[in-house]
Structures are given as structure tokens and as C-alpha cells.
Amino acid sequence: MGLLRIIMPPKLQLLGVVAFVIAMLFLENQIQKLEESRGKLERAIARHEVREIEQRRTMDNPRQDPGEEELDDIIILYNRVPKTASTSFTNIAYDLCSKNRYHVLHINTTKNNPVMSLQDQARFVKNVTTWKEMKPGFYHGHVAYLDFTKYGVKKKPIYVNVIRDPIERLVSYYYFLRFGDDYRPGLKRRKQGDKKTFDECVAAGGSDCAPEKLWLQIPFFCGHSSECWNVGSKWALEQAKYNLVNEYLLVGITEELEDFIMLLEAVLPRFFRGATELYRTGKKSHLRKTTEKKLPTKETIARLQVSEIWKMENEFYEFALEQFQFIRAHAVREKDGELYLLSKSFFYEKIYPKAT
């Protein structure tokens, strides 16, 4: 080789080195392509084996596809918290029910009491789980979380919900009771005629804007235990967090409602196929807006934030927000200002016994 360097001109030596580098890069590229081809082949073989197993099971048991039976047996329970954009979301369910072939039922409790009596709990659980004519079904209403397993039910409904910044929710509810909204503008409201602003109410120490009125989202998630409705209960806060993580499929945030609907469409297309597009383009999704609502001043907000009740409700809200953003971060990607759902990122392989 040393002799060649002496004999060969420098330009030819350089060309030789370049040719060698190009050849190595070409080989590396071919090896990478072979690895990718092998991966695709393995995935194709795995998919073929899965299909063969499914075909064998279908031949052995030629009844209706069990997947279809399970989808038609699904119950979604949306125990909606007041003034969290619940009507906007529920309108989506109503608009899609005929197209996607499911039933929507409103749970109308006396005086909107979120706590059911023990006998009503039992009746409700029995209705929801055995009313075959209403399956698949989407139930919604202002009802606290209810543990179906306490009544011996094996298959529980799928819980979903939406929560909101606690002060924003209270302000919206305060004006809703006085001026209503553009959903049913002619309906007389309980506090109609009271022109006092939220700021004036807080300054006067009024009961409708007291910190105790913030205590709502925690008990709705906590449930039907008496301690859930004990204002300021730390046990209720922890139980609400536990239920949110362990008993709810997805809990969205009012301020990010479109992302919540997008995720539901991805995971429950049987109900929500077409929901994202409907929310973006439909007329009903943004229909309900509280009338005459005036944003509170910084001083009013500061007075409420001193309360331990606000601190607990805000802790729960921040906890829910963190959970939702974690789920969203692992399900979507942003491109050019738009969110896109990630495609399937797993497959099955090394399936035994082999198909015969």
C-alpha cells in the first residue's frame, strides 16, 4: 500500500479514498434497508398469524363477532359538573347518536340533587346495566360518582367528565342563576332580578359567592359518601383524585374541550366518530353561553384564593389538568398549529403455538 501511495498521483489517491467512503456509505444504507425490510416482514408474519388465530376461533365458534357484542354492550356515564361546558359536550352526543347508532339518556334528579338515596342508587344501577334496549347508551346528568361494584355489578360503565377552573366555574354559575344563557333565553332563573355583580357579592360577603360554593368538583368525583360533601375535607380531595385516575377513562378540561373530544373520538369511535369535526364546524357546540357575565377583578379573585377551600379545589383542578395533559402528550403531536393523533405504535410477534 505504501508503494501504491508513492506510485499513484495524489488526485488518484483522493479519488480512491472518496470511492471507498461512498462504497461504505452505500453498504450501510443497504444494510439499513435490509433491517427495515426484515422488520416489515416480521410484522406482516405476525399480523398473518393473528388473522389465522382469529379465523380458527371464528370457525370453532361461528356466532356474532364478540368484539361487536362488546361494543354494543358499552355504557358511558357522564356525571357532568354544572357550568363546565357540559351542555356543549352533551350536544355532540345528541347530534351523533342516530348516525353512530346509540342512545342518549338524561338523568333528571329532583331539584338537580347530585346525591341519590340508597334505594335510587340500586334502581339506577339496575336500570343502566340491564336495560338492553338502551345499549349502547350514553347517560348524562348532574350526579355524583357512583361505585357500581358495591351493587355486585361486574361490568361497570365507562366514566368520563370535564372540569373547569374553580373560580371561573363559580362566576359562570353565579350569573347563570341570574341571567340564564342563550340556550334557553326565555326560561326564568332562580335569582332572576338580582342585578348585583359577582364583585359586589364578594365585597358584601354574600352567600352565593362564598368560598364554600367553590366546593363542588371534588364531591362530584368523590361520590356518595357523607365525607365527600363535608366542605374542606382532605379525605374527599384524595378520594376524588383516586377516582379520577382509577375510575374515569378520561377527564377533560373546559378550556381544552376540543382536545378532549378528539381523544374520545380516537378511543371510543363507536360513540364519537365524527365528533371533532362536528365540534369545529357545528352550530350547537358553542351554543350555551352565560348571559351578562362580568369577569371578576383581581381583588375579588385574590380574596377567594385566600380560602382553604379554593386551595383544595384548585389543587384538584391542577391535578386533573396534569393528568389530561400527560394523556394528550402521549396521544397526539402538533404540526403547523394543528393536533394530529399518533398512529398505532405496537404490534404482536412471537405468537405460539404456530398456526397449523
Catalytic residue among 48, 103, 106, 142: 142
330 annotated active-site? no
48 annotated active-site? no
Strands 338-341 and 332-335: antiparallel
Burial of 220 (0-12, 13-18, 19+ CB in 10 A): buried
Catalytic residue among 48, 103, 106, 140: 140
Residues 92-126 as b or e (16 or more Cβ within 10 Å = b): bbebbbeebebebeebeeeeeebbbeeeebeebbe
Cα pseudo-dihedral 78, 84, 88, 90, rounded to 10:
10
Active centre residues (catalytic): 140, 142
